[in-house]
A and B are shown apart, each in its own frame.
Chain A
């Protein structure tokens, strides 16, 4: 575009945005994360109409647009629905490269939960394998209180 400024050196301004946030977890999320922290238990919510069990739990059914009041305790075991082995560097992934990330369908749940998969090598991991949640010893009430899922 700068046709009449052809010899102009182009400058780049370097900066960053840094904004702290505090996100309300809500009543439903608070109960879910408190159960992870205090009891190492995974709970979901159930839709009164379609009976779908959501984990992480939801206040509203994705499919029926009604409130889900019923709580259901799920097993800490399930099946690997899909996975990937992340080969690139990412500071955002808590695990070591190459980290396996997957979606796990817990027994009794109708929705999958995305998490890290460990205790299996990238060439041994398989869709359909049974996995179990491994909890952190120090838990603070967040999703990473589940350290990862490992094969049973």
Chain B
């Protein structure tokens, strides 16, 4: 691919409770920042896509409620997606590829602070067979972590290293919610949530919004600081947990393969300079290393042991601090994409990785990583 670019990004700070902001306030802030970043006004925006979740927002067709805050009220074509922000960016890109639009403004928001995480994530599951057991985002992740550790011999200590790394990286990210150094012992000795998941293996509840502006062809070429989309892949796995081997990320494997093929990447560890992946839980980052082909299947733990994904390693992963330092669901993957764009531009500030030509961003949605979207962006 060579005709689509991300031309502007904007994010709010991630906080436990943005008490002073409504959903719309957050979306307005992120949109204004993205427009400013792109050097554009709302006149340059051909269509708008919003991303949210009705259960989290507590209203039907919640995506409509933020229309004014992202300029859709000015007679724009506004469409809506539920799921992760990377999925809606994919949609924004395809709308440009359709030839109808030259630019897409894509926004995502969530306020995890305003509702009950267990009730909402229990409702992800099938009402007949899985919901009555009391499954939720925490205990389902724990089932996956145990299965992953059992199948591949990955240890709790290796998982904990992800949390240590990402918390350390977050200290340098002004948008991060949790800025606190944690040691391996802190993670391993933190409160048991659902064995083998401990408190510091889990991402926090968060509020935030993000906005991304995508442009095509001439509109992209004229942009102030375009970052080019080299490849994208987006795949889903089966819904029922028992239908999958939870230790393997097959949908990610497929999504990554498609993105790499488009981007003509054959050796991701060599060719990618930085990656922002969806670390909702510490063990997930290790699983995603494998799904993304950074190491052979089952070797995620060994990869972090070798320090490959540390800030000074061969392929730094989550220099922003990832979601373990702030996890606005729905928005999470879009922030990964915004961070990848900043890394390519050299605009990531204190958490900038040196000499980034090619960056990877990854978003997921659904229990235990049911759907995955992989973006490769570069110069």
A contacts, CB < 8 Å to B: 1-2, 10, 12, 15, 17, 21, 23, 25, 29, 33, 54-56, 62, 81-88, 90, 92-95, 99, 101-103, 105, 111-116, 122, 127, 142-144
Contact = CB atoms under 8 A, between A and B. Distances in A.
A83 B143 contact: yes
Given A25-B128, A83-B146, A94-B134, A1 B243 contact: no
A118 to B, nearest CB: 12
A114 B127 contact: no
Contacts of B194: 84-88
Interface in B73-122: 118-119, 122
B192 interface: yes
CB-based closest 3 A-B pairs: A93-B134, A112-B242, A84-B142
Interface residues of B, number: 41
Given A83-B146, A86-B194, A87-B191, 14 more contacts: A10-B20, A33-B128, A54-B243, A56-B128, A82-B150, A84-B142, A86-B138, A87-B193, A94-B134, A99-B134, A115-B133, A142-B132, A143-B129, A143-B132
B155 interface: no
B187 to A, nearest CB: 16
A103 B241 contact: yes
B147 A101 contact: no
Contact of B29 (A1, A17, A82, A90): A1
Most buried by B among A1, A85, A114: A114
B135 A114 contact: yes
Which of A15, A112, A122, A127 is the most central at the interface, judged by chain B CB atoms within 10 Å of its CB?
Answer: A112
B240 A101 contact: no
B369 to A, nearest CB: 15
A120 to B, nearest CB: 13
Interface string B141-183: 0111011001000000000000000000000000000000000
A92 to B, nearest CB: 4
Contacts of A88: 138, 193-194
A23 B130 CA distance: 14
Between B118, B130, B143, the greatest number of chain A beta carbons within 10 A of the residue's beta carbon is seen for B143
A114 B21 CA distance: 39
Given A88-B138, A88-B193, A101-B135, A12 B19 contact: yes
B132 A101 contact: no
B313 interface: no
Contact of A92 (B136, B191, B246): B136
Contacts of A55: 242
A72 to B, nearest CB: 16
Nearest to A88: B193
Nearest to B135: A114
A1 B146 contact: no
Contact of B241 (A15, A25, A112): A112
A152 B64 CA distance: 54
29 contacts: A17-B58, A54-B243, A55-B242, A62-B238, A62-B243, A83-B146, A84-B139, A84-B146, A84-B196, A85-B195, A87-B194, A88-B193, A92-B134, A93-B133, A95-B134, A101-B143, A103-B246, A111-B240, A111-B242, A111-B243, A112-B241, A113-B129, A114-B143, A114-B241, A114-B242, A116-B133, A122-B195, A142-B128, A144-B132
A65 B21 CA distance: 45
Contacts of B191: 87
Given A85-B195, A114-B241, A103 B133 contact: no
B7 to A, nearest CB: 24
Nearest to B191: A87
A6 B146 CA distance: 48
B375 interface: no
B25 interface: yes
Interface string B230-264: 00000000101111001000000000000000000
A82 B146 contact: yes
A142 B131 CA distance: 11
B204 to A, nearest CB: 14
B25 A1 contact: yes
Contacts of B130: 114
